[in-house]
Amino acid sequence: MKKIVQKFSVPFTYPVCFTHRVFDPSNKTLSSILRPPSAGPARALVVIDAGLDDASKRLTRQIERYFRAHRSRLCLVRKPVTVPGGENAKNGWSEVRGIMTAAGAAHLDRHSYVIAVGGGSVLDMVGFAASLVHRGLRFVRIPTTVLSQNDAGVGVKNGMNAGGAKNFAGTFAPPFAVIDDFDFLKTLPQSEWIGGVAEAFKVAIIKDKPFFTYLCKHAAALRERDQAVMEKVVTKTAALHLRHIASSGDPFELGSARPLDFGHWAAHRLELMSDFTLGHGTAVAIGIALDSTYAMLKKLITPTERDAVIRGLTDCGLPVWSPLLERTGARGEPDVLAGLEQFREHLGGRLCITLPAPLGAKREVHTINLPLMKKAIGLLCPT
Ligand SMILES: NC(=O)c1ccc[n+]([C@@H]2O[C@H](COP(=O)([O-])OP(=O)(O)OC[C@H]3O[C@@H](n4cnc5c(N)ncnc54)[C@H](O)[C@@H]3O)[C@@H](O)[C@H]2O)c1
Ligand SMILES: [Zn+2]
């Protein structure tokens, strides 16, 4: 047998910028990031989350004005495309196809840009479409929800839902750049504003106890929409996510461990069971409460630590229970438990669930004691 072992590595670098009023013509963040090719300005297709456009009608005009003001460096290839916001954006192929068609019609090449402005669902879907056209266009994310600014928008994954599974189709494709504009957060409904804080708790509980303490201390401020506190929380959470991706040794998740998905096996299942009426952040809060309760039953964290998690989440106004947790499937078992096998299949290899052990640190486990998990569900039940 002859064998050639091919080996190379590709370093990835992308900026994650934090700003205000990104489309004010005097703000140079975007114009300095997009690199014009050797001849002419940088060509860009902009895609806007319809939910966002409803919340800020003037956005399309602002974007057009911004590109006009920077026309020596930037060219808007067409009027911004608006796509449905929320999970509908990534349910099935239709929106993905629409973006690919728009990119083709505008003759975007691999040095052109697709800029998505919106929540995590729209960013996932547009990023997926952009990663497929010509095997990858330059993709810039401008996340507009707390969750997308601190988590979904800063990482390396794109995707869409298909066949009844979250993120069934998707790609690992680092963005060209990310720009978090905190002003977008002001128009969020309360559920989306606070939902994103669940991802801050998630990463704090398994990685950073002082940050967990900070979140608990500022729970009321977060609930009452203190913009300055939220900006700190978003920046810190994004930094923790970015550090993990850069330093975990597995940015493209080739192994089975996925610590950033603490609480997510149940969350993804609950989202599906609710027909996506439960938002991702809300579902993550319930998933964190469930897995923290299970971790307490497994003696990985103390009852005091578990109670601090539940109190921190509830003080923020995040839920720690859904009646869906009690819904039973065909064999009389809680339906949510089907999320364990779906999670394993999505990761590949053997089941790997991250739990806090102790608070501020993590442990990976490969089996779940189902009677104990059912007991954890019972302990969360408010009645
Ligand atoms: N790729 C990743 O690494 C990653 C990580 C975590 C989560 N996600 C995905 O992100 C998605 C959730 O994203 P999300 O929590 O940002 O919610 P979302 O994108 O579903 O948006 C929620 C709602 O808020 C609206 N909206 C967006 N910005 C707004 C604004 N500024 N003002 C008013 N309304 C606004 C949207 O139109 C939508 O109706 C899920 O599909 C989840 O799986 C992806
Ligand atoms: Zn998440």
The contacts of residue 198 (CB under 8 Å, 6+ apart) are 147, 263, 281, 282, 284, 285, 288, 313, 318
pLDDT of 38 > 80? The answer is yes
Nearest listed ligand to the Cα of residue 198: 2
pLDDT of 327 > 90? The answer is yes
> Measured in angstroms, how far is the CA atom of residue 121 from the centroid of ligand 1?
5
The verdict on the CB of residue 271 being under 6 Å from ligand 1 is: no
The contacts of residue 311 (CB under 8 Å, 6+ apart) are 216
CB atoms within 10 A of CB 332: 6
- The alpha carbon of residue 234 and the mean position of all alpha carbons in its chain are separated, in whole angstroms, by 12
Give the fold, CATH level 3, of 204-244+254-380: Dehydroquinate synthase-like, alpha domain (1.20.1090)
Tell me which amino acid residue 274 is: S
Any bridge partners for residue 171, and if so which?
158
What is the rounded average pLDDT of the residues 170-198? 97
Taking only the tens place, the pLDDT of each residue in 346-363 is 888 889 999 999 999 999
Tell me which amino acid residue 32 is: S
Rounded to whole angstroms, the Cα distance separating 12 from 222 reads 34
pLDDT value at residue 253: 83
CB atoms within 10 A of CB 29: 20
Contact 78, 103 (CB under 8 A): no
CA angle 357, 363, 364 (to 5 degrees): 150
> Measured in angstroms, how far is the CA atom of residue 128 from the centroid of ligand 1?
15
The minimum-distance atom of ligand 1 relative to the CA of 187 is 32
If you search the block for the tokens 């996925």, which residue do you land on? 258
pLDDT value at residue 36: 87
Taking only the tens place, the pLDDT of each residue in 195-225 is 999 999 999 999 999 999 999 999 999 999 9
Cα dist from 1 to 4, 6, whole Å: 10, 16
CA angle 271, 174, 184 (to 5 degrees): 60
Q: Which of 121, 188, 342 to mutate to test the pocket of ligand 1 (most atoms within 8 A of CB)?
A: 121
Taking only the tens place, the pLDDT of each residue in 217-276 is 999 999 999 999 999 999 999 999 999 999 988 888 887 777 789 999 999 999 999 999
CATH code of the region 16-187: 3.40.50.1970
Contact 47, 206 (CB under 8 A): no
Percent share of the chain, pLDDT over 70 = 99
> Measured in angstroms, how far is the CA atom of residue 111 from the centroid of ligand 2?
30
pLDDT value at residue 288: 98
pLDDT-based confidence at residue 57 (cuts at 50, 70, 90): confident
What crossing angle do the helices spanning 209-217 and 227-247 adopt, rounded to 10°? 160
Nearest listed ligand to the Cα of residue 280: 1
Name which residue sits closest to atom 27 of ligand 1, judged by CA.
Answer: 119
Nearest to 47 by CA among 114, 130, 137: 114
Q: Structural domain boundaries of the chain?
A: 16-187, 204-244+254-380
pLDDT of 315 > 80? The answer is yes
Q: What is the pTM of this model?
A: 0.95
- The alpha carbon of residue 56 and the mean position of all alpha carbons in its chain are separated, in whole angstroms, by 22
Rounded to whole angstroms, the Cα distance separating 20 from 153 reads 17
Question: Mean pLDDT for the chain?
Answer: 95
Q: Which helix (H) or strand (E) holds 15?
A: none
Taking only the tens place, the pLDDT of each residue in 297-307 is 999 999 999 99
What crossing angle do the helices spanning 303-316 and 280-297 adopt, rounded to 10°? 160
Taking only the tens place, the pLDDT of each residue in 117-172 is 999 999 999 999 999 999 999 999 999 999 999 999 999 999 999 988 888 999 99
pLDDT value at residue 355: 97
